[in-house]
Amino acid sequence: MENKSYSDDDVELRKRPINGNATDEPRVVIVEDTAKLKKSVGIISGISFIVGSVIGSGIFISPKGVLQETGSVGLSLIVWGSAGILSLLGSLSYAEIGCVVKKSGGEYAYIDAAMGRLMAFMFAWTKIIVLTPSSVAVISMTFASYCVTFFPYCGEPQVPLKVIAALAIVTLTIINCYDTRAGASVQVFFTAAKLLALVIIIVGGLVRLGQGNTATMKSGFDGTIGTASGVALAFYDALWAYDGWNTLNYVSEELKNPYVNLPRANVIGVLLVTILYILTNISYLVVLGIDGLLDSDAVAVTWGDDVLGAAGVIMPIFVMCSTFGAANGALFAGVRTLYAAARDDQFPEVLSYVNCKRYTPIPCLIFTSLVALLMLIPGDIGSLIDFFSFASWMFYALAIISLFILRWRLPDAHRPIKIFILLPVIFLACSLYLVVAPIVQDPRLEFLYAFLFMVGGLLFYIPLVHFQLMTGRFDAVTRFLQKIMEVVPSPYEEPDFG
């Protein structure tokens, strides 16, 4: 589509169907043309989005939760490997359903196809208002906390932290608004940086291991805590370190040759992270020992001081690269849920519009970034994510149930990958456990508040989405936003997955 500029005469009100039903309410559209997101994500950038989104700050700062709960080197490494295998089962399941439901939006698209608009809205409501912006805000705050270590401050000043975090969010928003390929390139670059950091850590550990530092590894299963609850909590910590394995499913419509690249990127990305996590933990244990790892609040920095000496200053820089890349992945993929939901009239349709020159979803990027910036104002955003953590696993479970429903409803649909039924069943059982486990083990009133927030979305869904009471009420706002952002409708077109 050629780049075009639009005048006031190009914008007019006209009747159009909503959800397949004709309506007399006027809607604002650009009559001249429509636009859609470009296929700019290949196999390398796809793997980078998965690896870059999974590997955040945790593996560099404090990967000690698993070791605390298991008590031994042997069992902790088994848990890290098993969590990676479980994530692989999830990524394989998502690869199958992603090739059947070809829309962007991840769980939103799958739940909508199998269970209907109401359940899909509840996911979108939680994802758009809480999960995505809070994740971007927290990761940006971690990035800022490492930036300020290069400057002398008295105490722990919050203002510089929040200013740097806000600048990071604004920078990422500008990059992704400017060009989708730029966002993908940023992800590739920062993923390469964090992989380089992990390779340095792994090589350093192997060198120490070759020098005879084998005492920690020889301890094997000594000190193992054999309680079921301890192992369960260790799995919970490890699985959260793998969160982000489903990133690529959010951008299905922008993926080149999805039938091939979606399964390949999902499998390669998760396997790569699993291997890196195991080898990195081995290096930490060889260099620092069990006590040193448990006592450190920033394991990679402590490792760098021990192995690299004065050159250890590069570790905080690598952590900054890792968090910046993770924030970019969270923003890039997260806004696609809003894009898909708004396109289906679950949210204001203008939020699904795409810039007619750069083919980027500017309205939904700006909306998500504004919510993330607002979340920087209060104190502890991390607690907000903790209380909504069970919601993520609940929606993973619903996506797997959607896979089963679609197998039953669409038995003849083209499935370039169809996994053995036991694999998604295992993942579903683990997902349901991770929904219930934190509530049973530590029942707190905040979990009820989180659940009420999700159900509270019905207060908006019933009048505004189901009965469409606000249809046509904001045409002037839509017209204004179309003019200043140069955005046009982006209707769904069945992609060519061949």
> In angstroms, rounded to a whole number, what is the distance separating the alpha carbons of residues 46 and 188?
9
Is the pLDDT assigned to residue 11 strictly greater than 50?
no
Is the pLDDT assigned to residue 83 strictly greater than 50?
yes
> In angstroms, rounded to a whole number, what is the distance separating the alpha carbons of residues 229 and 71?
13
| Residue-wise DSSP of 461-488 | IIIIIIS-TTTTTTHHHHHHHHHHHTEE
| Residue-wise DSSP of 217-237 | HHTTTTT----HHHHHHHHHH
Take residue 354 and report the two structure tokens written for it: 């795409």
> In angstroms, rounded to a whole number, what is the distance separating the alpha carbons of residues 56 and 63?
11
> In angstroms, rounded to a whole number, what is the distance separating the alpha carbons of residues 354 and 104?
14
> In angstroms, rounded to a whole number, what is the distance separating the alpha carbons of residues 483 and 34?
14
**Phi, psi dihedral angles at 34 (to 5 degrees):** -130, 170
Which residue type, as a one-letter code, is found at position 346? Q
pLDDT band with cut points at 50, 70 and 90 for residue 117: very high
Buried b (16+ CB within 10 A) or exposed e, 443-472: eeeebeebbebbeebeeebeebbeeeeebe
**Segment 197-254, tens digit of pLDDT:** 999 999 999 999 989 888 889 888 888 886 777 777 788 788 888 988 999 999 999 8
**Segment 317-343, tens digit of pLDDT:** 988 999 999 999 999 999 999 999 999
DSSP state, 255?
A: B
Least confident of 185-189, 345-349, 421-425, 471-475: 471-475
pLDDT band with cut points at 50, 70 and 90 for residue 469: confident
pLDDT of the residue at 12? 36
Closest CA to 29 of 390, 481, 384: 481
DSSP state, 377?
A: S
Is the pLDDT assigned to residue 495 strictly greater than 70?
no
User: Which has the higher per-residue pLDDT, 129 or 232?
Assistant: 129
Place of tokens 């000043």: 157
User: Which has the higher per-residue pLDDT, 480 or 387?
Assistant: 480
> In angstroms, rounded to a whole number, what is the distance separating the alpha carbons of residues 67 and 72?
6
> In angstroms, rounded to a whole number, what is the distance separating the alpha carbons of residues 112 and 120?
5
Is the pLDDT assigned to residue 5 strictly greater than 80?
no
For residue 45, how many other CB atoms are within 10 A of its CB? 25
> In angstroms, rounded to a whole number, what is the distance separating the alpha carbons of residues 340 and 280?
37
Q: Please state, for a pLDDT cut of 90, what percent of the chain lies above it.
A: 47
pLDDT of the residue at 167? 96
pLDDT of the residue at 64? 82
Least confident of 131-145, 217-231, 373-387: 373-387
> In angstroms, rounded to a whole number, what is the distance separating the alpha carbons of residues 498 and 416?
10
Kindly report the CA angle at 32 between 31 and 34, in degrees rounded to 5?
A: 85
Take residue 247 and report the two structure tokens written for it: 């990133």
pLDDT band with cut points at 50, 70 and 90 for residue 380: low
Over the chain, what is the mean pLDDT? 85
**Segment 394-442, tens digit of pLDDT:** 999 999 999 999 999 999 999 999 999 999 999 999 999 888 877 887 7
Is the pLDDT assigned to residue 283 strictly greater than 90?
yes
Which residue type, as a one-letter code, is found at position 152? P
pLDDT of the residue at 151? 74
Is the pLDDT assigned to residue 280 strictly greater than 50?
yes
**Segment 187-196, tens digit of pLDDT:** 889 999 999 9
pLDDT band with cut points at 50, 70 and 90 for residue 379: low
**Phi, psi dihedral angles at 18 (to 5 degrees):** -120, 120
Is the pLDDT assigned to residue 23 strictly greater than 70?
no
